[in-house]
Structure 1
Amino acid sequence: MHAVESTIVSYAPTDALARTAAQSGDRIVWVKLSLTYLPLAQPVSDAKVLTGRQKPLTEIAFIFAEIATRDGHSGIGFGYSKRAGGPGMYAHAKELAPNLLGEDPNDIARLFTQLTWAGASMGRAGLTTQAIAPFDIALWDLKAKRAGLPLAKLLGAQRDSVQCYNTSGGYLHTPLDQVLKNVEISRESGIGGIKLKVGQPDLKIDIERVAAVRKLLGDDFPLMVDANQQWDRQKATRACRAFEEMNLTWIEEPLDAHDFEGHGLLADRFDTAIATGEMLTCFDEHAQLIMAGTDFIQPDAPRVGGITPFLRIMALGEFKQRKLAPHFAMEIHLHLAAAYGIEPWLEHFEWLGPMFNEPMQLKDGRMHVSDRPGLGFSLSEQALRWTTETQEFGTRP
Structure 2
Amino acid sequence: MKIVDVKAWALSVPVEHGITFGIGKVLRRDTVVVRVETESGIVGYGESHHGRAASSVADIVNNLLRYFVVGMDASDVMGVWARIYEMQLRSHGMGAGTSIAMSGIDQALWDIRGKAVGWPLYKLLGGSRRRVPAYAGGVSLGWSEPDALCEEVGAALALGYKAVKLRGGDAPRRDIQRVEAVRKAFGDDLVIMVDANTAYSLADALAVLPAFEALNVEWLEEPFAPHDHRSYAQADRSRIPLAAGENHYTRFEFHRLIEDAHVRILQPDLSKAGGITEVLRIAALGSAWKLPLCPHTATTGINMAVTIHVLAAVENAGWFEGDISTPNPFRDQLVSTPYVVAKDGTVSPLDRPGIGVEVDEDFIRAHPFIEGPAYAPGPARMVR
Q: TM-score, normalised by structure 2?
A: 0.86
* AA aligned opposite 1:27: K
In structure 1, C-alpha distance between the alignment counterparts of 2:234 and 2:319, rounded to whole Å:
23
Show CA shifts across 1:308-348 (max 9, x none).
11111011011111112111232221111122213410111
Aligned to 2:184: 215
Aligned length: 354
Aligned to 2:378: none
Q: CA separation of 1:283/1:125 partners in 2, compared to 1, >3 Å: closer, same or farther? A: farther
Matching residue within 214, 226, 230 for 1:245: 214
Matching residue within 191, 199, 203 for 1:230: 199
Aligned to 1:358: 337
SS at match of 2:71: coil
Q: Does 1:348 align with 2:348?
A: no
* AA aligned opposite 1:384: R
The aligned runs of 1:24-173 (5 Å cut-off) are: 26-49=1-24, 56-82=25-51, 84-94=52-62, 95-120=64-89, 121-123=91-93, 125-157=95-127, 160-167=130-137, 168-172=139-143
Aligned to 1:377: 357
Aligned to 2:381: none
In structure 2, C-alpha distance between the alignment counterparts of 1:166 and 1:210, rounded to whole Å:
15
In structure 2, C-alpha distance between the alignment counterparts of 1:276 and 1:125, rounded to whole Å:
19
In structure 2, C-alpha distance between the alignment counterparts of 1:265 and 1:346, rounded to whole Å:
28
Q: CA separation of 1:265/1:143 partners in 2, compared to 1, >3 Å: closer, same or farther? A: farther
Deviation of 1:388 (Å) = 5.0
* AA aligned opposite 1:366: T
Q: Does 1:198 align with 2:175?
A: no
In structure 2, C-alpha distance between the alignment counterparts of 1:212 and 1:344, rounded to whole Å:
26
In structure 2, C-alpha distance between the alignment counterparts of 1:97 and 1:105, rounded to whole Å:
12
In structure 1, C-alpha distance between the alignment counterparts of 2:294 and 2:234, rounded to whole Å:
20
Q: CA separation of 1:159/1:251 partners in 2, compared to 1, >3 Å: closer, same or farther? A: farther
In structure 2, C-alpha distance between the alignment counterparts of 1:185 and 1:44, rounded to whole Å:
16
Aligned to 1:333: 307
Q: CA separation of 1:72/1:255 partners in 2, compared to 1, >3 Å: closer, same or farther? A: same
Q: CA separation of 1:129/1:122 partners in 2, compared to 1, >3 Å: closer, same or farther? A: farther
The answer to whether the 8 Å contact 1:60/1:80 transfers is no
Unmatched 5+ stretches in structure 1: 1-25, 50-55, 390-397
Deviation of 1:288 (Å) = 0.9
The answer to whether the 8 Å contact 2:6/2:35 transfers is yes
SS at match of 1:78: strand
Deviation of 1:260 (Å) = 3.2
Q: CA separation of 1:33/1:81 partners in 2, compared to 1, >3 Å: closer, same or farther? A: closer
Instruction: Please say which of residues 279-288 and 311-320 is displaced more in the overlay.
Output: 279-288
The answer to whether the 8 Å contact 2:292/2:317 transfers is yes
Q: TM-score, normalised by structure 1?
A: 0.84
Deviation of 1:241 (Å) = 1.4
Deviation of 1:178 (Å) = 1.9
In structure 1, C-alpha distance between the alignment counterparts of 2:234 and 2:357, rounded to whole Å:
40
Q: Which has the larger radius of gyration?
A: 1
SS at match of 2:111: helix
